[in-house]
Every structure is written in structure tokens, then in C-alpha cells.
Amino acid sequence: MKLERRVALITGAGSGIGRGSALMFAREGARIAVADIDEASAAETARQIKEQGGEALAIGADVGNPEHAQAMVEAALRRWGAIDILYNNAATEGPICFAAQITIEQFDRVIGVNLRGTWLAMKYALPAMMEKRRGSILNVSSLAGLKATPGGAAYVASKFAVIGITQAVAIEYGKYNIRANCIIPGWIETPMVHRLFGAALPQSSVTAPPLRRIGQPQDVAKAALFLVSDDADYITGTVFTVDGGINAGDHGP
């Protein structure tokens, strides 16, 4: 097993990509701290992990809240004494409108979850990783973090910044044998994508990827597993796209 006896803290693990990754990591031997703002969803993911024979701890946490972020990390450390893998998956899409129409509260919330939450989890987990002199951090950006799209300025800003902070951490903490990488999902069938596009996305000739199918959470989970495992032990500071080919360029139906 690729992650035997390792401890993985995964945020936003109550559904979608986070849940898919948590289940896959557990099958590969990891002990999973399942964090989500929806504690009931976190508990359901933990239940599924235990049902398949794994170890899991459900944690309710708003990652943008410093007290919650610190408590989330401390809960995993109390339970297992280490955090070997930090997977910052939690995110919010925010409002769909032009930049001047975003309220200050909406902007702060998107940046608070997507960027501040990613930084806070790293802030509190990195000292434990430094003590062990090893660790793997995986932060989730977006295609919107590579190329801006209209109607999502706060989300775009947050996801561009996630790439930057990931690469900064990779540079700063490599000497402690801590790796930091960024994964970029394309159109993946998750609650967020359904909130944004409803049932239209799979049929759209505009957004349909060259591989001609919408991604599933396990597609991202398989790439994430590689990046956090020893198979990728010489990979850090990279941006890894899992998008069915969308980012390869313009393409027709």
C-alpha cells in the first residue's frame, strides 16, 4: 500500500473530490482526519472509511477561521501524533458576477476559505512536519487559477494565489524534506460544479474536454495519491492538471 500508516488531513472531505480522495487514501493504508464545515458530511465520509476497514476521525471545521484551523490540526496530532499529508481541498465558489458587484463580505469569504484557509492549515501543520523532517502538502487550485474567466473575480484571485503560496512553501520548506504541490481539477462531477452549471455541463460542446467525458472525483484522487506518495518524492512546487485536456488549448466539438 502506498500510504501505509501515514496520517492524512483532508479538508473539504465531506463530499466530492475530498471524499473520493479520502476513501482512496484510506484504501492505500492512510489514517484520515476528515475535515469539513459540514460536520455531518465529515462523519459520513469517516463512516464509509471505517466501513471499508480504515481509520478515520471526523472534524467539523471552517478552515478560514484560525481557531478552527488550529483545532483541526491539533485533533489529528492528538489522535495519531503526526500529520504526514496535508490536502487542502476545501473551497467555495463565491458569487457569479462582475468584480464591482461583489460585496466586501463575499470577497472576504472567498479569499478567507480558498486562500486564507489553505495558508492557515499549512501554518499549523508545518511545525509538526518539520519536527518529523518529512511531509507532503497538496493544495487544490482550479483552471480559474491558470486563466481568468468573467464573473468570478474573487474565486480567480484566490486560486491564482493558491498556486503562488504552494510554490513559496515548496521553496521554503524543501530543506526539511517537505514537499508542496498544487493540483488543478477540470470539470469534475461534484456538488460545486452542479451548483454552478446544473445538468448542462456534460452536454456542453463549449466546456466538454477533449477526452469527451466529465471527470469523476476518483480521477483527481488517483493523481492526488501519486503526488502525496513516495512515487513523487522528487516532485515539489509543481502544478498538476487533471482536466481531460481542457487546458491544452481551444478545441471544437
Q: pLDDT for 3-42, tens place per residue?
A: 999 999 999 999 999 999 999 999 999 999 999 999 999 9
Any idea what the CATH number is for the domain that residue 189 is in? 3.40.50.720
Q: Give the per-residue pLDDT at 201.
A: 55
CB count, 10 Å around CB of 40? 10
Residue type (1 letter), 105: E
In a domain, 249, yes or no: no
In a domain, 189, yes or no: yes
* 244, 209 Cβ separation under 8 angstroms: yes
The structural domain count of the chain equals 1
pLDDT single digits (tens) 54-82: 999 999 999 999 999 999 999 999 999 99
Q: Which residue has the higher pLDDT, 253 or 80?
A: 80
Whole-prediction pTM: 0.93
- Residue 124 among the catalytic residues: no
pLDDT single digits (tens) 142-200: 999 999 989 999 999 999 999 999 999 999 999 999 999 999 998 888 766 656 666 55
In a domain, 251, yes or no: no
In a domain, 252, yes or no: no
Q: Which of 124, 155, 173, 176 is catalytic?
A: 155
In a domain, 125, yes or no: yes
In a domain, 112, yes or no: yes
In a domain, 247, yes or no: no
Return the closest-CA partner of residue 221 out of 209, 210, 229, 213.
229
| Three-state SS sequence of 222-243 | HHHHHHHCHHHCCCCCCEEEEC
Q: Give the per-residue pLDDT at 204.
A: 52
Q: Give the per-residue pLDDT at 198.
A: 61
In a domain, 110, yes or no: yes
Q: Give the per-residue pLDDT at 124.
A: 98
Which structural domain, as residue segments, surrounds residue 84? 7-242
Kindly provide the residue ranges of all beta strands, DSSP E only, lying in 131-200, ordered along the sequence.
135-140, 178-185
